[in-house]
Structure 1
Amino acid sequence: MSSVSAARGAVSGTADTSDGDTPRGRRGPGELVRTYLALTKPRVIEQLLVTTIPAMLLAQRGVPSLWLVLTTLIGGTMAAGSANTLNCVVDADIDAVMNRTKARPLVTHAVGRRNALVFGVVLGLVSFGWLWLTTNLLSAALAVATILFYVLVYTMVLKRRTAQNIIWGGAAGCMPVVIGWSAVTNSLDWPVLVMFGVIFFWTPPHTWALAMKFREDYERAGVPMLPVVATATHVSRQIVIFTWVLVLWSLLLAPATSWLYLSMAVLAGGWFLVMAHRLHAAVVRGEKTNPMKLFHLSNTYLVLVFVGLAVDSVLGLPVLGWPF
């Protein structure tokens, strides 16, 4: 029996036969809340919210209703929490054999699999109803579509079958900007497609840098992430290519923004490119590398670009417009 299969048996055994709330004995309300909160992967949600607010500010080209911002964030948080919880349910066997994820609640039997499934589905349904009531039906439908795509397409199909998993599966992480934009405008327009693309092209270098560090984890779990099935040189070259596409793509927002956003996109993008090229050069020379530096930098890059977008939108500076 493979390590993943053994882990699947372990996870589905004790946890499934318990009531899901007290598999390790009686716990207080505070610990129970923290356990279920861990299923939603709060740190991942933080990154999603960083992109949602600037998208709403750009859609308004100013500050929309604070109530609308709050309700959109609440609905988006519940939708993301639903997707992440259901991801934990499906990936429990993988999480059990990866050092990075073996402390997650389903692996440690802190939560039963059935209870986690119910929790994830309920969160998704509530997020739909909340967004429909407080924003509009388009935003609510987009949230549900995101959950379904992340769980059914990425987690259950792409992740375990192709090295291109994160390229296409990463589209789910792009949806918060679309939901934020639609919450303000009840429609979609070209700037939100550009923002979608920024996150879409950002996701591969961000994730591949992490996967380079934890390559053995993914290999042991049988997940064909690019660093598992390709040489380090090929991976670092792909990181450079996607980073170039990302930086150039981010400049397409210039006609909808001012010199402020454009300056931030150029400076942050240049920094990201330099570090990506340095990683590739070190890999080619056979030197010891620390891909986590690029991973953390990618987070900083995304924050800088979207903060620049937010400030630009709030200040309402004259937009550059199309040059033709």
Structure 2
Amino acid sequence: MTTPAALRSATPARWQDYVQLLKPRVMSLVVFTAATGLICAGAPLHPVMGAIAILCIAVGAGASAALNMWYDADIDARMRRTRGRPVPAGRVQGADALALGIVLSLFSVMLLGLALNWFAAGLLAFTIFFYAVVYTMWLKRWTAQNIVIGGLAGALPPVIGWAAATGQAPLDAWLLCAIIFMWTPPHFWALSLYTSEDYAAAGVPMLPVTAGAAATRRQIWIYSLLLIPVCLAPAATGLGGPAYLAVAAVGGAVFLLLAWRVRTGRAGDASDPRVTDGLYDVKSAARDARNLFAYSILYLTLLFATLLGEHLLGVRAAGLPGVLT
């Protein structure tokens, strides 16, 4: 995709701009969930090999982000939340972002395959392709279900981490994937409730734009109800121990409370719910959506941190005898 001429600039890019192309905040979550999958696999793996696996997954995530920023430069330029990104702001040329994304994609997949195994490398290649092509180039611009389907790309890192350690992807690995997959719609739809004007201006068919705020609030509630049982499932299979069960249950109850407040509130009804370009500085009508968006990040982090801690400490649950073990 060609970057509009208006976005070009003669200002030399700084190294920080190229780091920003990799979406380091998103990358940190990818690294965290991938590391959880790798540790939960419980396979004997040399620390150097483990570090290489995580590096490859991180670089692959950064490659996906660079390709996304290259292709979405026209959309990003129209949105308050994204107009300061390196390509739409003119600090990095679109061709440079594209080249960086391709090089990092090839590097991460090849290194993971050569150092660990080609099953994990194949999953990483699929994830990059799915995010950069299926989600960015197709789903995001053509369907209100973009977040639902496209969420698979963000949900696969723990499976890749598990596969890197064992060469396999058993049920427990896919449970970790399912948690992130089901978490994604309420998380991003909460954000979209108070950024819907951005999406409308950019022509992105997010659910609040196509179906309205009330329908989005209903969908957030439905997906929240579906999410919590999935979050509890690792305690039934033995993947999660007692601490995980407590965090999933208590944290899930808080998640449902916040989602219910969104369901019964007015988030998304105001014409301009944000005070600034920031994600969290919103007017009163949007605070329920803002609170759910912020808490959803904390909840997911606590779930994976608890799993990681239990496995590092050797704490495991017995699962449900005769049912899931």
Q: Normalization by structure 1: what TM-score? A: 0.89
Count of residue correspondences: 304
The equivalent position to 2:292 in structure 1, one of 287, 291, 294, is: 294
| Residues in 2 aligned to 1:315 and 1:261: alpha-carbon distance in whole angstroms | 13
| Residues in 2 aligned to 1:169 and 1:99: alpha-carbon distance in whole angstroms | 22
What does 1:64-143 correspond to in 2, within 5 Å? 64-143=45-124
Instruction: Summarize the Cα distance change of 1:318–1:74 in structure 2 as closer, same or farther, 3 Å threshold.
Output: closer
SS class of match (2:199): helix
SS class of match (2:265): helix
| Residues in 2 aligned to 1:105 and 1:211: alpha-carbon distance in whole angstroms | 22
Higher relative contact order (CA 8 A, sep 6+): 1
Residues 128-147 of structure 1 show CA distances to partners (whole Å, capped at 9, x for unaligned) of 12212222111111111111
Instruction: Summarize the Cα distance change of 1:82–1:318 in structure 2 as closer, same or farther, 3 Å threshold.
Output: closer
Residues 65-112 of structure 1 show CA distances to partners (whole Å, capped at 9, x for unaligned) of 322331122101110011110011111110011111111111122111
Aligned residue in 2 for 1:12? 4
| Residues in 1 aligned to 2:59 and 2:241: alpha-carbon distance in whole angstroms | 33
| Residues in 2 aligned to 1:44 and 1:111: alpha-carbon distance in whole angstroms | 20
Q: Which amino acid aligns with 2:303?
A: V
| Residues in 1 aligned to 2:103 and 2:4: alpha-carbon distance in whole angstroms | 21
Q: Normalization by structure 2: what TM-score? A: 0.88
Aligned residue in 1 for 2:312? 314
Residues 292-324 of structure 1 show CA distances to partners (whole Å, capped at 9, x for unaligned) of 111110000000100111111112224222332
SS class of match (2:144): coil
Following superposition, the deviation at residue 14 of structure 1 comes to 6.1
SS class of match (1:250): helix
SS class of match (2:156): helix
SS class of match (1:60): coil
Identity %: 37
What does 1:266-277 correspond to in 2, within 5 Å? 266-277=249-260
Matched, 1:259 2:242: yes
What does 1:177-196 correspond to in 2, within 5 Å? 177-196=158-177
Following superposition, the deviation at residue 279 of structure 1 comes to 1.6
The equivalent position to 1:279 in structure 2, one of 224, 249, 262, is: 262
Is the CA contact 1:138–1:186 (under 8 Å) kept in the aligned structure 2?
yes
Is the CA contact 1:72–1:183 (under 8 Å) kept in the aligned structure 2?
yes
Residues 148-185 of structure 1 show CA distances to partners (whole Å, capped at 9, x for unaligned) of 11111111111111111100011000111111000111
Aligned residue in 2 for 1:20? none
Matched, 1:243 2:224: yes
| Residues in 1 aligned to 2:79 and 2:7: alpha-carbon distance in whole angstroms | 19
| Residues in 1 aligned to 2:50 and 2:189: alpha-carbon distance in whole angstroms | 32
Is the CA contact 2:310–2:316 (under 8 Å) kept in the aligned structure 1?
no
| Coordinate RMSD, CA, aligned | 1.9
| Residues in 2 aligned to 1:64 and 1:298: alpha-carbon distance in whole angstroms | 32
Aligned residue in 2 for 1:202? 183
The equivalent position to 1:168 in structure 2, one of 149, 156, 173, is: 149
Structure with greater proportional helix content:
1
| Residues in 1 aligned to 2:89 and 2:206: alpha-carbon distance in whole angstroms | 25
SS class of match (2:301): helix
| Residues in 1 aligned to 2:107 and 2:314: alpha-carbon distance in whole angstroms | 35
| Residues in 2 aligned to 1:180 and 1:169: alpha-carbon distance in whole angstroms | 20
Is the CA contact 1:15–1:113 (under 8 Å) kept in the aligned structure 2?
no
| Residues in 2 aligned to 1:247 and 1:283: alpha-carbon distance in whole angstroms | 24
Q: Which amino acid aligns with 1:293?
A: N
